[in-house]
Amino acid sequence: MWNFANMKLSILRVLFLLHALSVFAFASNSVVNMSHYDLMRPDFVAMKSEGILGVIHEATYPRFDRDARYRERQVAATQVGLLWRAYHYGDATNPIRQADHFLGVVAASAPAPRLLKQSPSWNESANALASIPVCIAASIASGRCFTVRE
């Protein structure tokens, strides 16, 4: 039998669910991912005014290359108050050198968590994948790194 307390609790649950859905919908559209493949000139002021909270930008990629647009975009985005995070688009070739290169590029400018994005072309062998957490742990004793698989 329904009483007032049960009905009130049900209404609160529905309201909470509706609120949570709106929060999740906002969160999914509040960060942009960028790299050197994005050829447009981003307007970070407009992004911020439209509700974008931050940028996750590629800093480095295999063969020890540095994203040529990383630093200029970092300066422009942080000047308008956007959050900034860096990632490395890695493959299975020499993961320790890749991690060291990535951290060398972003160390001075990104004290925040860093990301390692694993290329879908990685060899799925246990040896290639097992070496990644080891190299990351060895390379970033003073920071944190998250691994993202595509």
Domain containing 118 equals: 29-149
pLDDT at residue 48 in the model: 93
Q: Determine which of 33-37, 75-79, 107-111, 146-150 has the lowest per-residue pLDDT on average.
A: 146-150
Taking CA atoms, 145 is separated from 113, 114, 133, in Å, by: 6, 5, 9
In a domain, 92, yes or no: yes
- CATH number, position 65: 3.20.20.80
Number of domains observed in the structure of the chain: 1
Model's pTM, two decimal places?
A: 0.59
In a domain, 53, yes or no: yes
In a domain, 2, yes or no: no
| 4-14 pLDDT, tens digit each | 666 566 666 66
In a domain, 50, yes or no: yes
Burial class, 108, CB count within 10 angstroms (exposed 0-12 / middle 13-18 / buried 19+): exposed
